[in-house]
Structure 1
Amino acid sequence: MNDHAATTPGDQFGHLLDHEYDGIREYDNPTPGWWHLIFAGTVLFGVVYFSFFTFSPMAWTPQSALAAAQTREFQRLFAEIGELAPDEPTIRSLMGDEKWMAVAQGLFATNCVSCHGPEGQGLVGPNLTDDAYKNVMTLTDIPRVITDGAANGAMPAWGARLHPNEIVLLSAYVADLRGKNLPGPRGPEGDTIPPWD
């Protein structure tokens, strides 16, 4: 005879549950220890991760990544010309430089077209191709208006959104648009000012 006592499956594997599905019965076994460790580790990791990225000043954020990428791009782009001063000689020198006027045209297309039109002919904002200006009397007024906005509040301040070199490049581009006299939906606005020369 067999020396081993007969065991029922319930004795060997744990308590058999009462429910049955399609003739299949299930044992009520505890989850393995490794599963509990993985679960606890995941919860702990989640708490540390959430705390670090929510409360730590050292955490990577999309805003800090964007700022770092913009800084690298500005350093690469402006390495050739360095920091530009928003003065008349700098603006005049850039007005005659095809390469930097192409960069400035891209800046204008990105930031200014919605108000001033694709060619500067004016839409909601004034026409920049004629000789009448509201807030500008000299070349150095252009970067001031771009940086601080218009006195009447119609044009927003771009100083916090654009790099100082971008403002100088845009100033040169806007100054270069003058004299093209493109027809626009709005007539001349402001006072006629003397030529830049």
Structure 2
Amino acid sequence: MCRHQAVKQYIQNVLTSVTTVLEKAQLEQVVFVILDASHHPLQRFVFELMLPATRVRSSDNLCLLKLEQELRAFILKINTSDAQLTSIPPDNTWVVQVHTSQAAALEMQQHQCVQDFTWIPADDREISMKDRQIIPLKAVSCEVVKVCWKLTDNKQYYSVAEHQYICSSINNEKMQLFVEESGKNE
């Protein structure tokens, strides 16, 4: 749970600003990236979203109930994983990246929901990880949505046993937008 008011507001602004692309099923990933002092990614917590092109009908209540239960378990997994995480050095920072199509990114910029909260293209060094290991953490699937939570770990910096931690101190807040060209995947 976050106690820092500026971080809470930042997360609220992220969620509010991606609403347009989320409602149109154009949001592919939201990525929480932990960066070292040189702004190279150490870890990437990736939330992949696969939404149907059409809205859910009210007759799909059973599916919505299942989705609510799965998402509750998903959030509980995130919340309880905090106990297993180790601290990281204070010189690290973090960013949030949104992966979407270029057209959706432009629309997000044009229909900015939150004033003074502009997304910028991410630096290449903050996106790529040369020697990485992908660790699936949790998946939620039903007719309405599919969500996958995974960790991409930079093996160059950490051993397999050290891949479970998250940034608890914030040195730098930076808004990111990563526009993924069609056909390119992680």
TM bucket by the smaller chain?
A: under 0.3
Bigger fraction of residues in strand: 2
What TM-score, normalized to structure 2?
0.23
Which structure would you say has the larger RCO, counting Cα contacts within 8 Å and 6 or more residues apart?
A: 2
Bigger fraction of residues in helix: 1
What TM-score, normalized to structure 1?
0.22
